[in-house]
Amino acid sequence: MNSPQTPQNIFPNWIRGLLLAATAYNILWGILIGWFPETFYQWVTETKNAAPSIIEWQGKAVLAMAAAYLACAIHPGKFWYLAFFGALTKLGGGIWFYYTILEQEVGKKGIFHLLMNDAIWIPFFVFIGFRALAYKKAKREMPPEEPA
């Protein structure tokens, strides 16, 4: 027996939990990159070169995305597009990082960064985006609540 599609079973708590985990992860990663750009750059490139100034801005962008994931977790029907935007920024950011920062020379730490910071999240954000869009549709189709 199938239960009716409700906003709660379309966008269950585990999806919100995943978005909250992405929020926490991006806060921590953004702080590391933004406040310690030299350390991050030297770790990921496996060199002793000075970090380009763009690395600090990357940290700020990662922190901004944390806010986007939090907004989507709290209001998926209103901010459904932020999950898709998150997937797009992970894809674009990974490509940018590979070509611009790593200059197509990837060591083990660079691969780790590209996989853990970008690639692993993309399918989750696409899935969440479609679920949030369905949530928005289900909320719109619900009959209005009667006053108590």
pLDDT per residue as tens digits for the range 18-38:
999 999 999 999 999 999 999
CA end-to-end distance (rounded Å), the chain: 31
- Is the pLDDT at 2 greater than 60? The verdict is no
Please indicate, yes or no, if residue 5 is contained in any of the structural domains. no
Range of the domain at 119: 12-139
Residue 1 lies in a domain: no
Q: Which pLDDT value is given to residue 144? A: 67
Alpha-carbon span 113 to 1, nearest angstrom? 44
pTM above threshold 0.85: no
> Does residue 2 fall inside a structural domain?
no
Q: Give the pLDDT confidence of 110-140 residue by residue, as tens digits.
A: 888 888 888 999 999 999 999 988 888 888 8
Q: Residue 146: inside a domain, yes or no? A: no
pLDDT in tens, 86-101: 999 999 999 998 888 8
H-state helical runs in 36-121: 37-45, 54-74, 81-96, 108-113
User: How many domains does the chain fold into?
Assistant: 1
Q: What integer pLDDT is reported at residue 113 of this predicted model? A: 85
Residue 71 lies in a domain: yes
Q: Is residue 147 part of a domain?
A: no
3 domain residue, yes or no: no
Residue 57 inside a domain? The answer is yes
Average pLDDT over the chain, rounded to whole?
Answer: 87
Looking at the predicted structure, is the pLDDT value of residue 7 above 80? Answer: no
